[in-house]
Chains A and B, each alone.
Chain A
Amino acid sequence: MNLEQLSLFDLSLAALLVAALGLVQLLMGLGLLRSLAIGSVRMTVQLLLVGLVLKTLFETANLGWVSLMALIMLALAGYEVTARQKRPIKGWQGYGIGLLSMGVTAAAITLFALIIIIAPNPWYTPQYAIPLLGMILGNTMTGIGLALNHLTQTAWSARIKIEARLLLGQTAQQATAELRMEALRAGLIPTLNMLAAAGLISLPGMMTGQILAGAAPMDAVRYQILIMFLITAANGFGALLAVHLGTRRLFDERARLRLDRLTTR
C-alpha cells in the first residue's frame, strides 16, 4: 500500500482555509492576520527545508551526516530549554545543564532503542534514527524545561524559607528536598498526561502517520508503545539529572543559596 500523493493544488486548497480564516479575522477587526500569515509561511518553509535535508540524508545514509543532524537538533533543543524558563541559571552553566541532561539521556535512550530494540541495518539508518531522536528530544525538552523552571522560580520566591532551614543546620540537599520533588513532578506531568490520554483522547501523531502511510494498525500501535516508553524514560531521567545539576548550581561550596546566579528578567 502507498501514501496518496498530495499535489501542490491539494495543499493550496488547505491553505485557502487559513486564508479564509484570515479574511474573517480582518473583517472582525482582530489584528491576528499578520501573525497567521507569518506563521503559515514560516511553517511551510521550515517543513520544506527539513524535507529537503531529510531527503538528502536518507539518500546518503552516512553516519557522519546523521550525527551532525542529531547534534544540531540537540543544540536547538538545549536553547529551547533555557528560552522557556523565566529565571534561567546565568551564563553557560544554564545552557549547559539543560543541554547535558537532555543530551546524555536522549542519546543513551535513542542509541539503546536503535541498537538493541529496533536494530535496523545499519543501526543509524536515518529513517529510524532522526524521527526517534526528534520525538525523544521534543518531549524531554519540555519536561526538563518545566522541571528547571519550577526549580529556579520556586527557589527564587522561597528564599527566606530555604535560608531558614540552612540556618537551623540543614544541608542544601535537606533544605531543598520538597522543592526538588516538586520540580521533578512538574517536569513529569506532561508525560504522565500523555500516557493517560494515549489512544483515548488523543491518537498519537506517529501512530496516525504510520497508519496513514499504510502500516497495519497493530504494527503502528507497537511502535507507538515503544516510543511512549522511550519518551517517559528519557523525560524522567533527564529531569532527574537536570534537577540534580540545577540544585548544585543554586548553592555554592559553603551551602549558600546563590540566587545571584539566576537571570533577572
Chain B
Amino acid sequence: MLFEVQNVATRFSAPISFSLDAGEVLTVFGASGSGKSQMLRALADLSPHEGAVFLEGINQATLRPEQWRRKVGYVPAESGWWADLVGAHFHTRPPADWLAALSLPPELLDAPVERLSSGERQRLAVLRALTIEPRVLLLDEPTANLDDLNAQALTALVLNYVQSHQAAAVWVSHNRDERSRLGARSIEMPSGSTPLPAQGTPA
C-alpha cells in the first residue's frame, strides 16, 4: 500500500477514507461545495484536519511538513506564482520531453509570469510539481483551462509519470468523459453535513 487515507475530515469536508497502490490513479467527483479541494488540502497537510494519512506506512504527522509536501505534491486549481520569471519557480529545469509533450516551448521558462496564459499556467504548475518527483500527486481539476488536445497530453504525461515512478495520483475531476478516459477507480466525495464556509478565506 502506497497511500492510505483514514477518515480525513476538515471543517468544510466530510470524512473520507481510501487507499492507493503504487501505479494507481483515483478520480474523485462530487457536487461543488462538497469539499473536494479542502480534502486535497488536508492530504497535503495545508489545512487543519482530522483523521490520519499514511505514505508508505509513515504517518503524515511524524514527517516534517516540508518533507511531506515534497512527497505528496498538491497542484491546486489556482496556481501561485511569486517570482517575476517562470523559471524561478522550478526546483530543477523540467526535462525537454515533458515540455514538448505539453507543447510548451522551453523559452517559456525565461518569460515573465505575467505573459503566461491560464492554460500555460496550469500545465506549468503540474510540471513544477512533477520536477520534485512526488510519490503521490494530488490534482485539482488540472485540465479545467485546457483545450482537448492539451488536456489529453497532460493526462498522458501524468499517467506516464505514475507508471514509470510507481507513484499514485488523486485526481479531482467533474468531467465524466475525462474520468472514463482515465479509466481509473472513481469515488464520490461524501457530502455529509458540511457547514457553509465562513466569510473570507477558509482556514
Chain A residues within 8 Å of B, Cβ to Cβ? 156, 158-171, 178, 252, 254-260, 264
Contacts and interface: CB of A to CB of B under 8 A. Distances in A.
10 contacts: A164-B79, A164-B82, A167-B69, A168-B89, A169-B91, A169-B132, A254-B65, A256-B45, A257-B46, A264-B199
B47 interface: yes
Contacts of A163: 46, 76, 80
A160 B199 CA distance: 17
A82 to B, nearest CB: 19
B66 A166 contact: yes
A258 B200 CA distance: 13
A40 B79 CA distance: 53
A169 B70 contact: yes
Contact of B203 (A162, A164, A171, A259): A259
Interface residues of B, number: 30
Given A159-B201, A164-B81, A169 B48 contact: no
A259 B201 CA distance: 7
Contacts of B201: 156, 159, 259-260
Interface of B: 44-48, 61, 65-67, 69-70, 73-76, 78-82, 89, 91, 128-129, 132, 199-203
Contacts of B66: 166, 169-171, 255
A167 B76 contact: yes
* Most chain B beta carbons < 10 A, residue from A164, A166, A259, A264: A164
A165 B65 contact: no
Given A160-B80, A168-B91, A168-B128, A256 B74 contact: no
A263 to B, nearest CB: 10
List of 7 A-B pairs having minimum Cβ-Cβ separation, nearest first: A164-B80, A260-B203, A169-B70, A160-B80, A255-B65, A161-B82, A161-B80
A168 B82 contact: no
A156 B203 CA distance: 12
Contact of B74 (A167, A178, A260): A167
Contacts of B46: 163, 166-167, 256-257
Contacts of A259: 200-201, 203
B79 A256 contact: no
Contact of A160 (B69, B78, B200): B78
Contacts of B48: 252, 254, 256
Contacts of B81: 161, 164
Nearest to B79: A164
